[in-house]
């Protein structure tokens, strides 16, 4: 069985059950395009009158937007009555598809889920083929709200009595996500209060610093933070009530008092630990007294056979084979010298602690040793006296042992301490919730002061006055570029190219035209600056290939839209969106005509050069 239903079969099944028109949401643009291709040789054509109806609607749209007259999908759309609608298409094509849907000419539209919010047309049926969508390079399960948004396209008011949302499986689908989405209650939404540099500048332009905090307090973000703070406050009140019986006793802060006392008491346990009083040199040597080591005693030499510590003997012990053949047990402190020799010794678990053969052998070797042996250089650590614990010393100062409420304190301490810890935690979190927004704002102020857009008293400097007009992403990078004079003498194509590489945030790979060397070096500078600003602002992708597309479009006024599209593998819709975003960025630069007349002029020339062909046709 195929992993998912074939588009032709899908359309047949829908037609059979009168479930058309339908929107089929697919995972990717490519899936939409492939679905369209699969109709190339199919025979499920529409009856001629419907084909004519489609042609009539299309003609009307083409009259308005000539750019789609040659669209490769038109034959399939007319023959079968299906169309694709995704971000890779030109807006004019999407308008055409929407128009066809509104007239009820189509049987199905293949669209991507990512665009579910932007699809502005309903249908009788919605086909769902997946349970997750790609969000910032990661696949995430659809939320309940998203499933309902998608399913909500089913059922046209006034045209349908019922709408149908139909799940058809494809690999990796999770039916639970979808059934939960259908039957569940949509998630609560949360504020995403992103404080940007232009926002700080604009707020400070209109309001003095001391009025900012009340303004931030009016945000939905603060409203929701307050809600959370209130929940905590309620918990805190509860805790306060629970703490009632643990109020002041003989001493006001008996919990801390008892805590310290208890700690001290624990540290000074009445059962004295076994203390081994061994001089540091003995302790240092002991590690070297391994089986086979030749050591010197006060009288004569010996070979260590084993070492041990036992509870009965307070000091570390060794067993040694002496020159006279005796095996003696003696404290490690009796060793007078440790030589660097180690004799071969096969040790055994019982007396005489080595194999009988090796006893003979060792004795033999011991006799043959020279009179003087080099000593092992052993570093003896400096004897550092443990610092007497200050608290332990003051144990006598505590009143607790003789206090009348001692038993009560001892009984209540564990629970009271836990409650109080909880209280402290809540107080801290509430404080953080109330002030976090303001702190984030202040952080931005600090950065802007550092860069000289704000005076130390948080007023706008000369640079700040114009910088506040740049209200787009990566505003700090753009204003810094302007201050560095990066665009002085740049031609419109270069300026627009850099702007588009800043504006573009998609990392879809593809083949692109070559970059001119001037642009490449300028982009290199921009990148350097962007990296140096990265602690304060996320650097843009700054793709040179993207810049090259814009550079070509502006640099060569004779280039047609089709010619541009052919020079890259980027989808038509993506190029359009790129240029449209570039236009937006350029028009922001154009607003700086008072302070940067040269730049504003270049920007307006770039805008004029950009707006031609397809870009002119659409608003």
Q: Looking only at residues 92 through 131 of this chain, which bind another protein when binding is defined by CB under 8 A?
A: 94-95, 98, 117-118, 120, 122, 124, 127
Q: Which is nearer to another protein, 175 or 399 (CB)?
A: 175
What the block records as the tokens of 300 is 């004569």
Residue 466 Cβ, how far from another protein at the closest point, in Å?
12
Q: Which is nearer to another protein, 64 or 488 (CB)?
A: 64
605 binds another protein (CB under 8 A): no
| Residue 53 neighbours by CB under 8 Å, 6+ apart | 103, 105
Please give the size of the binding site for another protein, defined by CB under 8 A.
Answer: 86
- Is residue 323 a contact partner of residue 335, using CB atoms and an 8 Å limit? no
Distance separating alpha carbons of residues 164 and 24, to the nearest angstrom? 12
Distance separating alpha carbons of residues 46 and 26, to the nearest angstrom? 23
**Looking at 73-81, 179-187, 295-303, 484-492, which segment touches another protein (CB under 8 A)?**
179-187
Distance separating alpha carbons of residues 156 and 193, to the nearest angstrom? 36
Whether cis (ω within 30° of 0) applies to the bond prior to 352 is yes
Buried/exposed 201-213: b ≥16 CB within 10 Å, e otherwise? bebbeeeeeeebe
Phi and psi, residue 84, nearest 5°: -110, 145
Distance separating alpha carbons of residues 579 and 299, to the nearest angstrom? 97
Distance separating alpha carbons of residues 473 and 541, to the nearest angstrom? 12
185, 275, 287, 311: residue in contact with another protein (rule CB under 8 A)? 185
| 3-class DSSP state of 321 | strand
Residue 449 Cβ, how far from another protein at the closest point, in Å?
20
Distance separating alpha carbons of residues 191 and 126, to the nearest angstrom? 30
209: part of which helix (H) or strand (E)? none
166 binds another protein (CB under 8 A): yes
Task: Tell which positions 16-35 bind another protein, by CB under 8 A.
Answer: 17-19
- Is residue 327 a contact partner of residue 305, using CB atoms and an 8 Å limit? yes
Distance separating alpha carbons of residues 5 and 11, to the nearest angstrom? 10
208 binds another protein (CB under 8 A): no
58, 105, 108, 165: residue in contact with another protein (rule CB under 8 A)? 165
- Please say whether the dihedral angle defined by the alpha carbons of residues 475, 481, 608 and 595, taken in this order, is positive or negative: positive
Distance separating alpha carbons of residues 540 and 502, to the nearest angstrom? 6
DSSP classification of residue 454:
B
What the block records as the tokens of 539 is 């650097």
182 binds another protein (CB under 8 A): yes
**Looking at 258-266, 299-307, 487-495, 580-588, which segment touches another protein (CB under 8 A)?**
580-588
Distance separating alpha carbons of residues 500 and 526, to the nearest angstrom? 12
Q: Which is nearer to another protein, 216 or 239 (CB)?
A: 216
**Looking at 6-14, 32-40, 247-255, 423-431, which segment touches another protein (CB under 8 A)?**
6-14
Residue with tokens 């926002």: 199
Distance separating alpha carbons of residues 11 and 13, to the nearest angstrom? 5
Task: Tell which positions 215-274 bind another protein, by CB under 8 A.
Answer: 215, 218-221, 223-224, 227
Residue 535 Cβ, how far from another protein at the closest point, in Å?
20
Distance separating alpha carbons of residues 444 and 438, to the nearest angstrom? 10
Site string for another protein, 53-92 (x = CB under 8 A): --------------------------------------x-
538 binds another protein (CB under 8 A): no
438 binds another protein (CB under 8 A): no
**Looking at 11-19, 278-286, 442-450, 516-524, which segment touches another protein (CB under 8 A)?**
11-19
Site string for another protein, 453-492 (x = CB under 8 A): ---------------x--x---------------------
Residue 531 Cβ, how far from another protein at the closest point, in Å?
22
Residue 532 Cβ, how far from another protein at the closest point, in Å?
23
152, 510, 518, 539: residue in contact with another protein (rule CB under 8 A)? 152
**Looking at 194-202, 381-389, 438-446, 510-518, which segment touches another protein (CB under 8 A)?**
194-202
The Cα-based distances of 288 to 281, 325, 337, 372, 378 in angstroms read 11, 22, 11, 19, 9
**Looking at 3-11, 274-282, 481-489, 490-498, which segment touches another protein (CB under 8 A)?**
3-11
13 binds another protein (CB under 8 A): yes
Q: Which of 327, 329, 325, 332 is nearest to 295 (CA)?
A: 332
Q: Which is nearer to another protein, 123 or 305 (CB)?
A: 123
199 binds another protein (CB under 8 A): yes
- Is residue 614 a contact partner of residue 576, using CB atoms and an 8 Å limit? yes
Cα 454 → chain centroid: 30
167 binds another protein (CB under 8 A): yes
**Looking at 204-212, 390-398, 512-520, 530-538, which segment touches another protein (CB under 8 A)?**
204-212
Complete DSSP assignment for 514-551: PPPHHHHHHHHHHHHHHHHTTTTSPPP---HHHHHHHH
- Alpha helices, DSSP H, located in 301-405: 356-368, 390-393
**Looking at 13-21, 303-311, 355-363, 530-538, which segment touches another protein (CB under 8 A)?**
13-21
Residue 546 Cβ, how far from another protein at the closest point, in Å?
19
**Looking at 1-9, 37-45, 368-376, 512-520, which segment touches another protein (CB under 8 A)?**
1-9
- Is residue 114 a contact partner of residue 25, using CB atoms and an 8 Å limit? no
Residue 190 Cβ, how far from another protein at the closest point, in Å?
6
7, 21, 88, 163: residue in contact with another protein (rule CB under 8 A)? 163
37, 59, 60, 191: residue in contact with another protein (rule CB under 8 A)? 191
139 binds another protein (CB under 8 A): no
**Looking at 78-86, 150-158, 228-236, 538-546, which segment touches another protein (CB under 8 A)?**
150-158
188 binds another protein (CB under 8 A): yes
15, 50, 134, 180: residue in contact with another protein (rule CB under 8 A)? 180
C-alpha radius of gyration, the chain, whole number:
41
72, 138, 190, 456: residue in contact with another protein (rule CB under 8 A)? 190
What are the residues facing 454 on neighbouring strands? 460
151, 295, 523, 549: residue in contact with another protein (rule CB under 8 A)? 151
Please work out, in degrees rounded to the nearest 5, the angle formed at the alpha carbon of residue 348 by the alpha carbons of 343 and 352.
80
30, 205, 234, 364: residue in contact with another protein (rule CB under 8 A)? 205
């Amino acid at each position: 069985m195929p992993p998912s239903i074939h588009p032709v079969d899908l359309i047949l099944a829908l037609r059979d059950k009168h479930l058309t028109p339908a929107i089929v949401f697919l995972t990717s643009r490519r899936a939409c395009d492939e679905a369209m291709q699969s109709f190339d040789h199919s025979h499920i054509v529409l009856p001629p009158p419907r084909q004519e109806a489609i042609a009539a609607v299309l003609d009307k749209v083409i009259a308005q937007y000539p750019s789609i007259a040659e669209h490769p999908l038109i034959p399939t759309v007319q023959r079968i009555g299906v169309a694709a609608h995704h971000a890779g298409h030109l807006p004019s094509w999407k308008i055409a598809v929407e128009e066809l849907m509104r007239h009820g000419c189509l049987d199905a539209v293949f669209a991507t889920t990512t665009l579910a919010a932007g699809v502005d047309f309903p249908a009788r049926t919605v086909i769902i083929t997946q349970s997750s969508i790609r969000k910032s390079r990661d696949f995430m399960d659809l939320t309940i709200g998203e499933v309902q948004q998608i399913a909500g396209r089913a059922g046209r008011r006034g045209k349908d009595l019922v709408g149908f949302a139909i799940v058809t499986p494809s690999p990796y689908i999770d039916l639970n996500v979808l059934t939960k989405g259908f039957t569940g209650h949509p998630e609560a939404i949360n504020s995403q209060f992103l404080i940007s540099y232009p926002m700080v500048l604009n707020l400070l332009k209109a309001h003095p610093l001391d009025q900012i905090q009340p303004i931030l307090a009016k945000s939905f973000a603060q409203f929701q933070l307050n809600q959370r703070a209130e929940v905590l406050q309620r918990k805190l009140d509860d805790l306060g009530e629970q703490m009632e019986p643990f109020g002041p006793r003989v001493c006001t802060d008996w919990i801390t008092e008892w805590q310290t006392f208890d700690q001290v008491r624990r540290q000074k346990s009445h059962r004295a630990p076994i203390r081994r009083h061994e001089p540091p040199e003995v302790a240092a040597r002991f590690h070297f007294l391994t089986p086979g080591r030749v050591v010197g005693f006060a009288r004569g030499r010996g070979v260590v056979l084993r070492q041990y510590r036992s509870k009965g003997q307070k000091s570390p012990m060794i067993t040694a084979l002496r020159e006279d053949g005796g095996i003696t047990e003696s404290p490690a402190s009796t060793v007078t010298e440790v030589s660097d020799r180690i004799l071969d010794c096969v040790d055994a678990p019982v007396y005489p602690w080595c194999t009988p053969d090796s006893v003979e052998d060792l004795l033999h070797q011991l006799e043959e040793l020279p009179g003087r042996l080099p000593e092992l250089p052993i570093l003896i650590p400096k004897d550092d006296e443990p610092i007497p614990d200050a608290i332990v010393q003051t144990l006598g100062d505590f009143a607790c042992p003789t206090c009348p409420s001692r038993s009560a304190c001892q009984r209540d301490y564990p629970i009271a301490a836990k409650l109080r810890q909880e209280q402290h935690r809540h107080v801290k979190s509430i404080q953080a919730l109330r002030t976090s927004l303001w702190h984030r704002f202040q952080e931005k102020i600090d950065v802007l002061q550092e860069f000289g857009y704000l005076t130390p008293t948080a007023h706008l400097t000369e640079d700040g006055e114009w910088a506040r007009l740049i209200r787009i992403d990566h505003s700090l990078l753009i204003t810094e570029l302007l201050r560095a004079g990066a665009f002085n003498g740049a031609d419109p194509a270069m300026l627009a190219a850099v702007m588009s590489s800043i504006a573009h945030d998609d990392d879809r790979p593809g083949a692109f035209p070559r970059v001119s060397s001037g642009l490449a070096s300028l982009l290199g500078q921009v990148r350097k600056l962007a990296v140096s600003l990265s602690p304060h602002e996320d650097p843009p992708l700054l793709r040179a290939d993207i810049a090259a597309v814009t550079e070509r479009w502006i640099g060569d006024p004779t280039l047609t839209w089709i010619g541009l599209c052919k020079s890259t593998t980027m989808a038509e819709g993506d190029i359009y969106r790129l240029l449209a975003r570039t236009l937006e960025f350029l028009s922001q630069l154009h607003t700086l005509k008072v302070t940067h007349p040269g730049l504003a002029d270049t920007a307006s020339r770039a805008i004029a050069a950009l707006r031609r062909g397809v870009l002119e046709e659409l608003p």
